[in-house]
Structure 1
């Protein structure tokens, strides 16, 4: 696949999310499909990280950062798809998944500072950071503030569109998107909301809609990919185009037939796009 900066690209149609993928997503902390779990203290928070084995290819490590209300679980299909060529880490942010729950909900700045501490703790070297949805806001802030930590950046379904930058606006778009998602994702969402607690989800949404991601996008210097599903109603075409325009020399990829959870339902296509982004510095 060949992409040109700021020119839309497409990849082949996504696959399905079925029972096998659901079992794998819910497996942690048990080992499964080459993924293992570990716990480490990061910035005073007992942190769970799902990771793959190092394939020994010399490719940059990839760190996957989940979105609002969810955890490592729904990013498991992408971690498995990337595993043959990349060492992959999927940390649970503070309060989510299997990571300890602090007494407050972190905003974008505090999440980004925590993620920098996570990178300092693991010392993987400059990494490719993928942030999905709210996670894209976190990695955009980190890439802007700590460019030395980031070899490349993927903003997958980045929130939030200024045209709907309110709790009502974002929740309304999410409700429309749920009808376009694979139904078997629902057990993952229910488990993740139960782990995080509804109050944390609501508070984090409030932080998201008060975060002007545009101010971070214009400061990004790493090679960047803005990626979304063609049927994503949370991140419509006009906003993803504008987000890519704000980042110097960003590329764009649209995955046909996928909705907002593109990393879950189209892992092979997203992995292909990540490898293409990293091709100038590594070829597997």
Structure 2
């Protein structure tokens, strides 16, 4: 069974912002799950996970400024600007504390938001978090992405190409620069909420040493590795990922 998703637009901090969302489930008290996409993509590649999680939790997938169906400002937002916009988005939706799921560069945004406003986050998922210090350069990160493209399932390609064209290649390149300039470790050690570090077994962008380091740096974190998956684990393994997120939320509901 999969949830039905709908699109809506709201003016957030002066910017027309698109959100793909599920209907609220019938069970009261289930925390919302907010999915934050990576630097070259949008809500589209997160749809399989949103449809799977949406059967038990209200799920929201906003497009960050300049990506997907959200308005395209004339400059590329850096990490802190994305955090500020996402905080304004949470306020616009009057969200209770959420489970924040960030993928790739979105994990950097999610980590920084959890530090900036810990009361807004009930639990945190860092999925395929960038960027590994051993490849923290444009050349290093792009090189690993090229390796990953050979490991991903082919049906994703049209979705990813459309997202890059929507965002414009210059914006993607600028966001890569923002990512490699971000010392994510400084945020990781300050996270105070229960955290799941999640990665695909075959993810070359987030190799085993880096995912283990991320897990050690976050004070209350555990690691889940999804067998057979590459970097886009949220797209290609929505069932196991949804199960891991639900497991994370069960203890937090009792707090």
Bin for the TM-score computed over the shorter chain: over 0.9
Of structures 1 and 2, the one with the larger relative CO (CA 8 A, separation 6+) is: 1
Report whether the alignment pairs 1:232 with 2:199: no
Report the counterpart of residue 222 of structure 2 in structure 1.
251
The ranges of structure 1 where at least 4 consecutive aligned residues each deviate by more than 3 angstroms after the TM superposition are none
Q: For 1:119, what is the secondary structure of its paired residue?
A: helix
In the other structure, the counterpart of 2:8 is 38
Shift, 1:59, TM fit: 1.1
> Normalising by the residue count of structure 2, what TM-score does the alignment of the two structures yield?
0.97
Number of residues of Structure 1 aligned to a counterpart in Structure 2? 252
Distance 1:102 1:211 in 2: 21
| 2:20 alignment counterpart | 50
- Please list every run of 5 or more consecutive structure 1 residues that lacks an aligned counterpart in the other structure: 1-31
SS at match of 1:49: strand
Secondary structure of the residue that 2:96 maps to in structure 1?
A: coil
Distance 2:46 2:83 in 1: 19
Residues 181-219 of structure 1, C-alpha deviation per residue, up to 9 Å, x if partnerless?
Answer: 010100011110111000000000000000000000011
CA distance in 2 between counterparts of 1:222 and 1:232 reads 25
Whole-Å separation in 1 of the counterparts to 2:152 and 2:225: 16
Residue 253 of structure 2: aligned partner: 282
Q: Which of residues 143, 147, 167 is equivalent to 1:176?
A: 147
TM-score, length-normalised on structure 1?
0.87
Distance 1:45 1:204 in 2: 19
Question: Aligned equivalents of 1:275 and 1:209: distance in 2?
Answer: 31
* Deviation for aligned residue 1:33: 5.2
Pairwise CA distance, 1:266: 0.2
* Aligned positions of 1:155-170 closer than 5 A: 155-170=126-141
- What runs of 5+ residues in structure 2 fail to find an aligned partner? none
Q: CA RMSD in A?
A: 1.1
